[in-house]
Structure 1
Amino acid sequence: MGKANTSTKRKGELLQAYGFITPTVIILGTFVLFSVLYSLFISFTRVNLLGEVSYKFVGFDNYINLLKDERIWIAFKNTISYVIVVVPTQTFIALVLAYVLNQKLKAKNLIRTVLFLPTLTSSAVLTMIFMFLFSVNGPINQFLMSSGIMESAVNFLGDPKFALKVIMAMNIWSTVPFFMTIYLAGLQDIPDALYEAASIDGANSMQKFFKITVPNIAPVTVFVVLQGLIGCFQIFDQAYIFSNGSGGPQNSTLTVALSMYQYAFKTNGTMGYAAAIAVVLAIVIFIVAMLAKKLQKEEI
């Protein structure tokens, strides 16, 4: 009798568990798994989804054409340049700020709140703000000319040499507070006894930072780097707003995600080609993320 009651109770608990996870499974299956599989499928076809729906299987033609597409190579070059600059910079600044704010400072909670504000602002608004700051008649040019650094205004937004760098600066400024908060949470787990022992041994602040903080925060750094890599490779909205969807000036702000959008919605009949770009981008992100994770583990 006891075994029967236990079995019935266990079945009831399993039904409850399945009831709780079923909505999540349905949502993920519909909007994630199905989307991934469908994108993979149409990447091997020439498909038109904006008018009369039609599919034509073309094999690996989309992927072969992708390798010959000069715009895609430019997009990958811009995206990789963006990743190489932004990820290390935002990671280092976030760690340093977190380390400083983890000390016994006056009004540190107020400082944390102020520094976190950019994260609460939408990327569209931040892009518009930075476009104003770096415009020809904007505050940055006014400061550079008034201080004698520049004799005349620089067209940061229209010069291919500076356009992508402005987006880099904006994203570093807006993402550092988020990663700083993650680092702050990780720093709370480092025992104070380690710093006290280091002080007794005569270690200075720099030695404590590199010998105690950095090694103990390594797992958090792995997470921050991976999140930064994924986010940077997927950059779209800032480049779209900055260039009005063109990737200009002279393709200097053309990213892989933006080129994917252009082929999917701006050119008729290239939705399958855009899906092929998405698949290649996903593979690149996966490979880079795994390499970064492996390198971080080896350093640990």
Structure 2
Amino acid sequence: MKRAFSKKEWREAGAGYLLLSPTLFVLLLFIIGPIVFAIFLAFHKVQLLGTTTFQFVGIDNFQRMLEDTRAKIALWNTVKYVIIVVPCQTMLALVLAATLNAGLKGQKFFRIVYFLPTLTSSTVLTLIFMWMYNQNGLINHFLKAIGLPTYNWLGDPDIALNAIMVMNIWSTAPFFMVIYLAALQEVPDSLYEAAELDGANALQKFWYVTVPYLRPVTSFVVIMGLIGTFQLFDQSYIFSSGSGGPNNSTLTVVLLIYQYAFKTLGTMGYAAALAFALAIIILVATLLQRKFSKEESLY
């Protein structure tokens, strides 16, 4: 039989919840509330401008995705972006961190230089790269100077998304580099000493000691990368002026959600359904990554 709470225990519990109430209020108002409301919208046809109306349509919004050609294109662009960017930014971050941790001369200076892209606004970085990719931009001027033909980097549907990928790999890798750099400080020197006694060279020590030891950190970096890349919006929006062009080549799921939510009348419910579907995709991708990666260190 469970013991009844004393008056003192009730007072202590009440005081605890009273102190937590501001945080709980913010959590309910700005996180849980919007999530519940978005799920509600996903099953309705919504008209927010003028007279607000909510018409229950069941799963019609989700069935519409199967027939929406632009939704399929946006999903494919997003998946392709994730598959390429996440491994590249993870490997680049690990290599940069290992290089800075090797005790090279001037490593403090290079740590600052490598981290600068992370401190710069995403919008500013996008505008800089748009200037570089422009037909009269830095890259074409360089190609012209060495006698190579110039290229329309932003206007070619086969290249536009790749241009965004390069920019994001360059700008996000330094953030994950700092995480790897902190983890590298914790690798025991005894592991490297044992590897040296076995005749391992620098590359072998990196591959057989450093990489396995950092597996839990890599799992975290990959999960954060998955969540971030699936939510690509601002770079795609700025590159294409909100259209997802050229020829839908930079259209992502989040950009499509924005277009349906704020650019097309009467499709707010469909946009909420797309957002809900994207959340499920991110959740499944994260769970699969955790399942197929070994979370614990080998040592």
Report the TM-score, using the length of structure 1 for normalisation. Answer: 0.93
- Structure 2 unmatched ranges of 5 or more: 1-5
2:95 equivalent to 1:89: no
Determine the structure 2 residue equivalent to 1:284: 281
2:121 equivalent to 1:128: no
Determine the structure 2 residue equivalent to 1:243: 240
Determine the structure 2 residue equivalent to 1:72: 71
Cα deviations by residue, 1:250-281 (Å, 9 ceiling, x for unpaired): 00000000000000000001000000000110
Structure 2 counterpart of 1:206, from 189, 203, 207: 203
CA RMSD of aligned residues (A): 1.7
Aligned partners of 2:204, 2:10: CA distance in 1, in Å?
57
Q: Deviation at 1:136?
A: 0.4
Code of the aligned partner of 1:268: L
Determine the structure 1 residue equivalent to 2:55: 56
Q: Which runs of 4+ in 1 moved over 3 A?
A: 10-17
Aligned partners of 2:199, 2:183: CA distance in 1, in Å?
25
Aligned partners of 1:128, 1:235: CA distance in 2, in Å?
16
Tell me the secondary structure at the aligned position of residue 251 of structure 1: coil
Determine the structure 2 residue equivalent to 1:116: 115
Cα deviations by residue, 1:22-77 (Å, 9 ceiling, x for unpaired): 22211111111111111111111001123221100011111111110000000001
Q: How many residues align structurally? A: 292
Q: Percent identity of the aligned residues? A: 55
Determine the structure 1 residue equivalent to 2:3: none
Tell me the secondary structure at the aligned position of residue 128 of structure 2: helix
Tell me the secondary structure at the aligned position of residue 114 of structure 2: helix
Tell me the secondary structure at the aligned position of residue 118 of structure 2: helix
Q: Alpha carbons of 1:116 and 1:298: their partners in 2 closer, same or farther (altered >3 Å)? A: closer
Code of the aligned partner of 1:264: A
Q: Deviation at 1:104?
A: 1.2
Q: Deviation at 1:215?
A: 0.6
Tell me the secondary structure at the aligned position of residue 293 of structure 2: helix
Determine the structure 2 residue equivalent to 1:269: 266
Deviates more, 1:163-172 or 1:198-207: 198-207
Q: Deviation at 1:197?
A: 1.8
Report the TM-score, using the length of structure 2 for normalisation. Answer: 0.94
Code of the aligned partner of 2:191: L
Determine the structure 1 residue equivalent to 2:36: 37
Determine the structure 2 residue equivalent to 1:225: 222
Q: Deviation at 1:180?
A: 0.2
2:171 equivalent to 1:193: no
Aligned partners of 1:37, 1:80: CA distance in 2, in Å?
26
Q: Alpha carbons of 1:107 and 1:298: their partners in 2 closer, same or farther (altered >3 Å)? A: closer
Aligned partners of 2:201, 2:207: CA distance in 1, in Å?
10
- Structure 1 unmatched ranges of 5 or more: 1-5
Determine the structure 2 residue equivalent to 1:144: 143
Question: Are the aligned partners of 2:187 and 2:213 in contact in 1 as well (CA < 8 Å)?
Answer: yes
Cα deviations by residue, 1:127-178 (Å, 9 ceiling, x for unpaired): 0000001110111111122223x32x21101111111111101100110000
Aligned partners of 1:222, 1:113: CA distance in 2, in Å?
25
Deviates more, 1:137-146 or 1:179-188: 137-146
Q: Alpha carbons of 1:44 and 1:297: their partners in 2 closer, same or farther (altered >3 Å)? A: same
Q: Alpha carbons of 1:58 and 1:117: their partners in 2 closer, same or farther (altered >3 Å)? A: same
Aligned partners of 1:68, 1:275: CA distance in 2, in Å?
17
Q: Deviation at 1:11?
A: 5.7
Tell me the secondary structure at the aligned position of residue 45 of structure 2: strand
